[in-house]
Structures are given as C-alpha cells and as structure tokens.
C-alpha cells in the first residue's frame, strides 16, 4: 500500500488527525509530519514543505507515496507545497476532481481546507490515491514540460517519441 505523508496546521488539525486515523485503519503506511499538538500560532509553510519534500524523496526512491496537507487556507498550502521541486500540490473538493488532478498533472500532494467535511475529504483522498496517470503521450509530454521549466527555467519542448511496440493498434 502507498505511503501517505500527512501534516496539518492549527486550522486543519482535527480533520488532519481524523484522516490520518482512517488511513492507518485502512492499512496505509502513514507518516505524520505535524503539528504534534493543536497550536493556534503555528504556520502552514513548514508543514507544506515537509509533506512536499517527503513525497518527492519517496517517489524519487521508487516508493508509492502521496502527501495530504490539511490547513486553514487550502490555497496558501498549495502555493507553499508547490515550492518544493517535484511536488505537484492541488486542492480538490470531490472524488472526481481529485481523480482528475491525478489523470491530468499526476498530482502527488492533496491539500484540504480545515473546514472540509470529513467523509467527503476521506472519499476524495481515496479517489486521489486510487487514480493513476493514464499512459498518454500528451500528458507525459505536458508534465515533462512543467518539470523542465521547474528545473531550468525554460521550455525547449520535450518531444516524446514512441517506439512501434508502444503504439496501440485497434481494429474496428
């Protein structure tokens, strides 16, 4: 099963811990990155960067890993997590939206606002983890272009080439 890296600030602490407990009960390998206690004075960037960095390190090592960040302001958490090279953090309000983010940009960090409803957040998290990037040349090329800009500051234009054995042949 996938490794899930969780973190939450004061605004998402209760929901974050509830989702963490559900993930543990479901058998996921769970790592909690904080906050350790509810602290109204904590700051979301620390948690966002911890989650993003941990996911990227695990994925670079070949691990199936995702990040779940629950913060007071989801959009702020998305911006902070996306500062980590290789993190693709998104918000999603429904299971279908979460699946779409995986299918389109191969998102690896899901960010919730702390006011999200627990049941919907859990179903959204499950859809996020269960969905994979389709084997599509277009999607692969687009993700490579994003990564190219992230690493070099330019998009020279990745040309993804297919071998004849990779081309799907259909018969009508």
For residue 30, being part of any structural domain is answered with yes
Do strands 65-71 and 29-32 pair parallel, antiparallel, or not at all (unpaired)?
unpaired
The pLDDT, as a whole number, for residue 139 is 77
From residue 86, give the alpha-carbon distance in Å to each of 59, 99, 167: 9, 19, 28
For residue 41, being part of any structural domain is answered with yes
Q: What average pLDDT does the segment 131-149 reach? A: 80
The pLDDT, as a whole number, for residue 160 is 55
Do 65 and 113 lie in one domain? The reply is yes
Do 53 and 71 lie in one domain? The reply is yes
Quote the number of domains for the chain: 2
pLDDT of residue 169 exceeding 50, the answer is no
Nearest to 15 by CA among 147, 80, 91, 111: 111
Do 118 and 150 lie in one domain? The reply is no
The pLDDT, as a whole number, for residue 131 is 96
Q: Give every CB contact of residue 73 below 8 A, 6+ residues apart in sequence.
A: 11, 44, 113
pLDDT of residue 135 exceeding 90, the answer is no
The pLDDT, as a whole number, for residue 163 is 57
The pLDDT, as a whole number, for residue 165 is 56
For residue 110, being part of any structural domain is answered with yes
The pLDDT, as a whole number, for residue 156 is 79
Do 50 and 102 lie in one domain? The reply is yes
The residue with greater pLDDT, 28 or 171, is: 28
- Four-CA torsion 1, 75, 8, 81, nearest 10 degrees: 60
Digit-coded pLDDT (tens) for 44-102: 999 999 999 999 999 999 999 999 999 999 999 999 999 999 999 999 999 999 999 99
Nearest to 65 by CA among 74, 53, 76: 53
pLDDT of residue 10 exceeding 50, the answer is yes
Do 159 and 126 lie in one domain? The reply is no
The pLDDT, as a whole number, for residue 127 is 98
For residue 63, being part of any structural domain is answered with yes
The pLDDT, as a whole number, for residue 153 is 83
Q: Tell me, what DSSP letter sits at residue 167?
A: S
Do 83 and 149 lie in one domain? The reply is no
For residue 43, give its domain range.
Answer: 3-130
pLDDT of residue 39 exceeding 70, the answer is yes
The pLDDT, as a whole number, for residue 161 is 57
Do 123 and 142 lie in one domain? The reply is no
Do 147 and 118 lie in one domain? The reply is no
Q: What is the CATH number of the domain that holds 109?
A: 3.40.1400.10
Q: What is the pTM of this model?
A: 0.87
How large a percentage of the chain has pLDDT more than 90? 76
For residue 172, being part of any structural domain is answered with no
Do 32 and 96 lie in one domain? The reply is yes
Do 15 and 67 lie in one domain? The reply is yes
Q: Tell me, what DSSP letter sits at residue 62?
A: T
């Amino acid at each position: 099963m996938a490794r899930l890296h969780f973190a939450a600030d004061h605004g998402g602490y209760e929901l974050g811990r509830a989702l963490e407990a559900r993930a543990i009960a479901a058998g996921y390998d769970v790592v909690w990155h904080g906050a350790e206690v509810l602290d109204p004075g904590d700051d979301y960037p620390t948690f966002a960067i911890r989650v993003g960095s941990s996911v990227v390190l695990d994925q670079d090592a070949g691990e199936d890993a995702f990040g779940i960040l629950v913060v007071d302001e989801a959009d702020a958490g998305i911006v902070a997590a996306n500062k980590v090279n290789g993190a693709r953090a998104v918000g999603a309000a429904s299971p279908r939206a979460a699946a779409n983010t995986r299918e389109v940009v191969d998102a690896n960090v899901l960010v919730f606002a702390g006011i999200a409803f627990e049941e919907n957040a859990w179903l959204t998290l499950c859809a996020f983890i269960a969905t994979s990037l389709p084997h599509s040349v277009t999607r692969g090329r687009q993700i490579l272009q994003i990564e190219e800009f992230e690493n070099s500051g330019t998009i020279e234009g990745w040309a993804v080439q297919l071998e004849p054995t990779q081309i799907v042949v259909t018969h009508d």
